[in-house]
Amino acid sequence: MSLVFGIAGCKPLPPSMPPSEWTPQEARGAQVFQEKCARCHYPTTAHSLHGPGLQALTKLRSMPSGEPPTDERLTDRILHGYGLMPGTPLTDQQLKDLLAYLHTL
């Protein structure tokens, strides 16, 4: 699927996948998110908490920074932090699960 959505302005964002449709890996990733990311990010809205809301993160053309939301970029942001966001050390498995989950948003 190659749908590309523009900047999140007036257009509604595509909805996040409901938990009932998650694969086991995505469900594990959701747990990682709850532990490591939820205190600063809302996953399924575009509203900011401490950092930007992450709804439709991987379906948008670019992240708030303007970078494309590729797994490579996301991995770098997550592990090493970025601007006001601290890095989060994760195991390879946690990282894979988390990336799978981020694709459901």
In the complex, which residues of this chain contact ligand HEC (CB under 6 A)?
A: 36-37, 39-41, 50-52, 54, 57, 63-65, 67, 74, 77-78, 82-86, 88
Rounded to a whole number of angstroms, the minimum distance from the CB of residue 9 to ligand HEC is 16
Nearer to ligand HEC, 63 or 100 (CB): 63
The 3 state secondary structure assigned to the chain is: CCCCECCCCCCCCCCCCCHHHCCHHHHHHHHHHHHHCCCCECCCCCCECCCCCCCCHHHECCCCCCCCCCHHHHHHHHHHCECCECCCCCCHHHHHHHHHHHCCC
Tell me how far, at minimum, the Cβ of 66 lies from ligand HEC, in Å. 7
